[in-house]
Structure 1
Amino acid sequence: MRSVIVMLEERRLAGACLVLLAAGVMAFWGAACDGGGGGGEKDQVAADATEVEAACTPDCFGKECGSDGCGGTCGKCIDGWACNATGECKKMPACDIVQEIFCGHEVAGDTTDKKNRQQFYTCEAYEGKGPDQVYVFSPSQDDHVVATLTSPAADLDVLVTQAPCDEETCLAMGADTIELEVVGGKKYYFVVDGQMDVFGPFSLELECDSGCAPQCGGKVCGADGCGGSCGKCEGGMHCTVDGQCVEGPIPGCEESDIAGCGGCACEECVCAQDDYCCTTLWDAMCVQLCAGPCQGCSTAVCGDDTCDPGETCDSCVPDCGCQVPQVCFAGMCCASDCTGKECGSDGCGGECGGCPDGKKCNAQFQCVVGGGAGCEPSGTPGCGGCPCEACVCAMDPFCCDTQWDGLCVGECQDQCGGCGPKPCGNGTCEVEIGENCQTCAADCGCPEGQVCAAGKCCTPMCDGKECGDDACGGVCGACGAKELCVDGQCCLPACEGKQCGDNGCGGVCGQCGPGKECYEGICVGPGDFCIKAEPETVDFGAKKVGVFTTKTVKLSNCGVLPLMLMDVKIVPDVEGLTMDPMTVPQGGLVTQPGWEHEVVLFYMPSEPSPLDEAGKSIPFSSTLLVTTDVPQIAAATTLTGVALDEMCPIPAISVEEPGEVEPGTVLHLDGSGSSSQGGAITKYEWSVVQPDGSFAQFVPSAGAAKPMFDAKVVGTYVFTLSVTDAAGKAACLPASAEVVVIPPSSVYVELVWSTPGDPDPVTAPGSDLDLHVFHPWSTGPDIDGDGKPDPWFNPTFDCWKKNENPDWGKLADGNDDPVLLFSDSDGWGPEAVTLLPENGIYGVGVHAWDDGGFVQSGAQVRVHVYGKLVFESALVSLKELDLWDVCRIEWPSGKVVPVAADDKGTPKVTPGYVNPAYVP
């Protein structure tokens, strides 16, 4: 874990205990750290520091790598991949651009442990076998640039390329320096590399002939490069590196998957404290440094008339200058105070006056006779051998090594008995002169059981608490390094081997990303756990009582994680239906991914199935259920069959075409395989459940042994066959078969409609609705009067019944042209267009060409993209010559956007729409 080094001001405060945290070690500075014989403030600071360090909950929600926010990681990426700002492992680019470099800018780097991303450079046939680092330079104007490389510990070289990570665009190479003429607005990539596997630390500096000229061309905000400003941003916007006011995150204030922050305002400050940020990855810790000590997440610009956080009267006089009579002292506006003072400091770096000859300024800022040496500040070390010198310098060497300042004077009087009587220690707590339990414990000390907090005595509230706030600015105790303080008690999070779930301390060990759930501490998604039973249905058919039959069900672990079987059973129980006990897996069996096993089913009924009111046998329906130790993961196979005293005719269906076919496939159904013990099959009865909008019929009839069926509408067709034998015995159970019609292309647009009052939507004349699909280039006369060209009826770019196969894509290449598959002029459809689109926005419409004398029809449009139904309109009522503008199809996204006449979603229908070129 990298540490943030907190730099403390070298000068110390008397009587204070300061703590420095670095690399997990605490160092203490100040007299109070060792005073009092019992650790005192030093122990308190240590407890505070431990409490702060402990109060952190790892956050790995949706992350597979990167920081967990508490100094740990959410995982590591494999070699050649890197963690991006959202915690995903992404393949690394060909090389790593460490950061941006500028004129007059010097960067420090190190190729040790870096990758050898670039090797064979075209300039001077240079072969860089060592690790390399890359810096980008974007000059604002034409310039002469000198790059100087310093690498005392390794023989490194500097090269310049025109393209990132591209050795073949090499412009120049030098062992120590490169001189280069650059063109403003272009980018140049400076590469530090080494031959013969050489690597080591280096510094790279750029000097430009242009010197420092304010650069505000095209910029509306940000620094001008010479310490000034090009303007400020308003309304919560922030200034980008290229000087534009934009909304969104401030550069450097969000995690990144590359080193550095692209020359953001805080980059140099952050990387000076933590070079990992500019050599490896700009992670969450770099963001904290940018937002904290480096003040890089503020939109403050000096000269914008606003004294923003991070600006002071020292650093930005135009915005933060002090009003008279105040003066700027130590970065703050200060009002001098000489009330009751004859001499000494005015509190703002000035003096309240001097003492006449023979008098000295004492610690109470009064001129007194014989005040003695050491009782006033001086600009030199020591006090010339004054009585308190040895005492003061023993506890504060600064006074004798560097300067005898006001702090030394106070120590002389308060701790060493110099300068005459001292107010503190006289036995009286003199509040009027600023004494309290903090400034003068000798006179104002707190009674037993209380502590001094902010100058006041306070009773700590720690009954029953191991840790946490004591209500007096301290803590009740310190937890271990990995423990958390929860409601005053120390708790060790239990997250070993867990990705998610309760950590036992009121928090979580991590959170799972979108689409995943936490199961026993592991993030799992769809398919991670999977158990399958095949086939989905086992039909024993019609079986005579006493006849033994077997069927097999295959079980398999179809996931990527082990899964424990809890139970395999038949529910509900069925008379005569059992499992072979030798094939039933025992509960508690842990199956590995890829595991397979067959369960054998026995069916031998001893009594016939019950009858319904019509006297027909009622088939049984049961389930082979497989449960696992993951409650939501189970598998099931439906079990059916019927038991008979005597056998019925058995229908059988075969389909010549496969289970999935394209629209318009004529299916050849065959029931001639049906059989009966009572004689020949004399009667066939076919039925079908077909998709909405399909009104196809069996040809020649539903009573034929081998009928045909034209399946045009996309969807699932379920065919059922019942038969009767020569003895008049009907089948006890029908047979069924399923065929699925799937779209044949990237985009498939389908129109179906129905016409109330039309008694024969298949063979007799009826309404004629036309499907239109137009190309992005389609234009025509403005018939709807909206002031824009209409796309309908274009002779080239509108596909409909008068233009069934236009040439839209490559000339004479029919593979990329639309095709009107079906055109129905006297029924209820369907009509369909298949399309392999180019990039652009296509449109869909429906025109009511002829109502067939039935006044109106209800139309519905469906759009399939890559076989998936992505749009299905409601039923829209159309009268003759109505034109319905249905939707737009955006490609390549595949998004379908309905067209509406208003913000309520009313369909856009134009009545009486007639194109002069195509009059019905």
Structure 2
Amino acid sequence: MQTIHRPINVQLLLLCALLLGVLFLAACPEEDPITGSSLIFEPVEFGTYEFDGQPRIEGPDRLFFGDVEVGQRVQRVATIRNVGRLALKFHEWTISAPFELEFPHFADGYPIELAPGASLTAVVSYTGQDNDGVQGTLSIMSNDEQNPRFDIGLFANLSLPCLVLEPAQRVDFGRTDRDATALRSVVATNCSPNSPTTFTVESLEGASEFYLMGERTPLRREIELNPGESIAIELAFAPRAPGDYQAELQISTSDAFSPERVIQLHGSGTPFGCPTAVIEAFHAQRGRVVADPNGTFEVVPLDRIQLSAAQSRDSDGEIVRVEWVLIERPEDTVVHFSQPGDSVNNGLYMELAGRYVVELHVWNARNTRSCQPARMVLEAVANKQFHIQLVWDTPNDQDRFDGSGTDLDLHLLHPRGRWNKGPHDCFWQNMRPDWGVAGDSSDDPSLDIDKVDGWGPENINLDKPENDTVYKVGVHYFSDHGYGASFATVRIFLGGELVSEVRRKRLADQQFWHMANIEWPAGRVVPIDATHATFP
């Protein structure tokens, strides 16, 4: 059995033991999630309403390897997601032999944390030993209180029925006007590689406002699906009055792994005279976008976006209360709103490239909440041909906002240069070198932030790379400032698209990591992953 444990912070445990012996009441602080903050740009203040939920793990319940010949090696991918509102922290990964587990995107071998809305790829391998059926389990222990042990079944050389329902547990119809009908569906798919699978919709119990649509999946009729085949179970919700409604859809199946399924149905009738939430987002260079109720605003990393709830409205009165909620942000950032969550005017800093999702709820004088939130999607997309991002975490640095931390430096090297030497290495001592055509800044790289006290980010941008050129990307651990080892994550965006990512490469003080080369104009990133005691 292969087991991967989360590393123990020895220094932190010794400190806690010492304090306990002296004071009799000390406690070990929790580790903060991996993130970054800016030195040049002041960190925004914390709001009070974001991320009030819990971590939630989501992934497949099983992986099928089909029929595997002796000596044949077959791989399957399990995508693990954090669909909650807090960081998901992994305590242990265990897999049954002869199955093997690896994480291709993690340089140090395994993940220990997953930000809200983020996902990771786990690769499970099986090498055929004989023709007998084999089954095992991949177990993931985490801080998800509702599901602290998440098991994924593993099957090889077995012909078994398999049914996947999407969504598997809950269908939410949201708020629906009286006398209107909302439609949703549950997709049933045969996930077996070699066996037919049957299922039956046994009952729909609860509020009569929910009912089945169509003739393909009626009640109490067995339906057979061939391997890979799918069918939609069509559902409808038609409320007759304001209020909340619930029902249960019960399904039986020949899938012995989980023969009885129950899906919760939720919906609500629109209250009389509920207010309307509207978000206005503004940036001086990017323009203005309104979400009424939905909107998408394409911005650039390091932008500061102004947000306003002033356009929200109520047909019978005024808006008396607002609530801003940040429901999604890129991995490795902990940015918050610039003002408290109940402020009419707010703001958000685009610290990293990626997707930020903001929701707004409003209340009127009758204390009626908006029927649905306004939702603004902020897509921070690099507007340069090269956008190279460095963030890092240091287990022994427990406070990222105290002005003290480790110093890692990002480097982009031109083929005519040497590491840590100007003018052809772009780094903190040469932040805006003159490359390409002399005096033409459009073909010059630039380092936007030199972060010297931990976490990052540091970004290097280059808009017009030279043809027939191979650029090198590296990271130098300039100083650990007594905090010990750090774990570096580098992402390379070309034309705004993420094309290469290596997460949590372990580095010690003064080490240099040659991460990758970028071949231009092919747009190809070649992994190097070479670590040196200092600059090579």
The structure showing larger relative contact order (alpha-carbon pairs under 8 Å, at least 6 residues apart) is: 2
Higher strand fraction: Structure 1 or Structure 2?
2
TM-score (norm 1): 0.29
TM-score by length of 2: 0.47
**Structure with the greater alpha carbon radius of gyration:** 1
